[in-house]
């Protein structure tokens, strides 16, 4: 059953970006041409892709995504306007999911803006129903690869920031308490174990306290 509704504003919670290979994926299809939309539904047949909601207008996209929580968004539009691109950009940051856009607009600027807004696959020209499934497969694969790389980069960045905090805390402890690097690290690790905190959090607390102490001495 295809539904068209209006819904509350988008959630600020991060969505789950992991998609298992055999999982059934629900699609929010945005298409002003109902007959063309029905042809897409028919073409997908018994595949793992299911058009669970049809919207005949791009208006209220954020509300629809927040309420429906589709796995994939498919948009068939003459040309994406600024409001749609801004909505997609918001979704890509707060509720990321694969987005496939079919459009007759083929200028480089529109394509680049669409991709920057979170579109996983931008397809120029009329929809060939028989091509929809392979296009969705490619969009999901690209989405997964992008977020895997992003997660790895975020983890690396976090590890570097954590190491910087720990190294800075060690240096401050060595300077303030006149101890060796090994003694400073042992003290931090013991505090982390005794308090059940992460070593990184202990380091940040030490840095904050010792810097406040130094500023207090400077003001005396």
The full 3-state SS of 39-66, as one line of letters, equals HHHHHHCCCCEEEEEEECCCCCHHHHHH
Q: What is the DSSP letter of 188?
A: H
CA distances from 119 to 56, 61, 122, 133 (A): 19, 14, 7, 16
Query: What is the rounded CA–CA span in Å between residue 126 and residue 77?
Result: 10
pTM of the model: 0.69
Q: What's the longest Cα–Cα distance across the chain? A: 78
Render pLDDT for 72-129 as a digit per residue (tens, 0 to 9).
999 988 888 899 999 999 999 988 999 999 988 888 999 999 999 999 999 998 778 7
Q: In what order do the strands lie in the sheet with 121-124?
A: 49-55, 25-31, 72-77, 99-103, 121-124
Helix (H) or strand (E) holding 6: none
Render pLDDT for 115-125 as a digit per residue (tens, 0 to 9).
999 999 999 98
Whether the per-residue pLDDT at 6 is higher than 50: the answer is no
Q: Token digits for 192?
A: 């982390």
Taking the CB of residue 204, how many other CB atoms lie within 10 A of it? 18
Q: Report the pLDDT value the prediction gives residue 22, as an integer from 0 to 100.
A: 67
Where do the structural domains in the chain lie, given as residue ranges?
A: 25-127, 153-219
CA 140 to chain centre: 14
Whether the per-residue pLDDT at 7 is higher than 60: the answer is no
Whether the per-residue pLDDT at 132 is higher than 80: the answer is yes
Answer with the residue of higher pLDDT: 13 or 140. Answer: 140
Q: Are 51 and 40 a contacting pair, CB within 8 Å?
A: yes
Pairing between β-strand 72-77 and β-strand 49-55 as defined by DSSP bridges: unpaired
Class of domain 25-127: alpha beta
List Cβ neighbours of 87 (8 Å cut-off, separation of 6 or more).
58, 61, 62
Task: Identify the band that residue 21 occupies on the pLDDT scale cut at 50, 70 and 90.
Answer: low
Render pLDDT for 188-204 as a digit per residue (tens, 0 to 9).
999 999 999 999 999 99
Helix pair angle (199-219, 129-177), 10° resolution? 50
Task: Identify the band that residue 10 occupies on the pLDDT scale cut at 50, 70 and 90.
Answer: very low
Look at the chain and count its residues: 220
Percent of the chain whose predicted confidence (pLDDT) is above 70? 88
Query: What is the rounded CA–CA span in Å between residue 49 and residue 140?
Result: 11
Strand-pairing partners, residue 103, are 77, 124
Class of domain 153-219: mainly alpha
């Amino acid at each position: 059953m295809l539904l068209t509704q209006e819904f509350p504003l988008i959630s600020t919670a991060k969505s789950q970006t992991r998609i298992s290979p055999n999982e059934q994926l629900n699609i929010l299809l945005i298409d002003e041409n109902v007959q063309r939309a029905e042809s897409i539904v028919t073409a997908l047949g018994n595949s793992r892709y299911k058009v669970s909601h049809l919207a005949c207008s791009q208006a209220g996209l954020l509300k629809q995504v927040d309420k429906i929580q589709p796995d994939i968004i498919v948009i068939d539009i003459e040309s994406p306007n600024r409001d749609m691109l801004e909505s997609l950009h918001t979704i890509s940051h707060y509720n990321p999911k694969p987005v496939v856009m079919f459009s007759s607009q083929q200028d480089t600027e529109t394509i680049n803006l669409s991709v920057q807004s979170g579109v996983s696959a931008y397809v120029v020209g009329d929809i060939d129903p028989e091509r929809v499934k392979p296009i969705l497969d490619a969009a999901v694969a690209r989405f997964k690869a992008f977020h895997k790389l992003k997660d790895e980069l975020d983890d690396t960045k976090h590890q570097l920031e954590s190491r910087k905090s720990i190294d800075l805390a060690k240096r401050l402890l060595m300077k303030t308490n006149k101890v060796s690097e090994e003694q400073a690290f042992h003290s931090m690790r013991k505090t982390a174990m005794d308090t059940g905190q992460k070593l990184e959090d202990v380091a940040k607390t030490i840095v904050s306290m010792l810097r406040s102490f130094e500023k207090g001495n400077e003001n005396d």
